[in-house]
């Protein structure tokens, strides 16, 4: 026999996740999703309660749809448009601030304030995790 080195292929590393699956959602991501749902519900309540009959249908349906579109385009984990993380944070802050202002305009300042604090805190923690 020839003097060839004894080479054995290394075992391939086990995949971190099964193909076609995603990692489990963290508590922060679930809280961010809950904040989005609360913001969308806020826009619907604001649209139907703050306007008179013909415009309340437009605002009550249009405001939540606009918020969902902004979220899907820029902020969601599978965003259509991949933008700089700071633009993503500004869009997220815009949605949360708009929901807070909607509560204030309906005379429910404490609900708006509590939601704003929770949503911005959650957004900062989630944003820092995305950047790391």
pLDDT digits (tens, 9 = 90+) for 52-103: 888 889 989 999 999 999 999 988 878 888 888 888 889 989 999 999 999 9
Handedness of CA 95, 99, 104, 109 (dihedral sign): negative
Q: Could you write out the DSSP letters of every residue in the chain?
A: --------PPPPPPPSS-TT--PPPPHHHHHHHHHHHHHHHHHHHHHHHHS-HHHHHHHHHHHHHHHHHHIIIIISTT-SS---HHHHHHHHHHHHHHHHHHHHHTT-HHHHHHHHHHHHHHHHHHHHHHH-
Domain definitions of the chain by residue range: 27-131
pLDDT digits (tens, 9 = 90+) for 22-50: 777 788 888 888 999 999 999 999 999 98
pTM of the predicted protein model:
0.77
């Amino acid at each position: 026999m020839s003097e060839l080195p004894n080479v054995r292929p290394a075992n391939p590393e086990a995949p971190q996740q099964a193909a076609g699956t995603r990692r489990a959602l963290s508590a922060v991501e679930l809280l961010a999703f809950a904040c989005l749902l609360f913001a969308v519900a806020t826009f619907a309540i604001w649209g139907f309660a703050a306007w008179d009959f013909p415009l309340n249908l437009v605002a009550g349906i249009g405001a939540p749809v606009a918020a969902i579109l902004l979220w899907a385009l820029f902020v969601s984990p599978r965003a259509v448009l991949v933008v700089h993380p700071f633009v993503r944070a500004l869009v997220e802050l815009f949605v949360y601030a708009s929901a807070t202002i909607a509560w204030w305009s309906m005379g429910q300042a404490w609900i708006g304030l509590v939601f704003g604090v929770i949503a911005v805190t959650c957004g900062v923690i989630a944003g820092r995790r995305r950047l790391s």
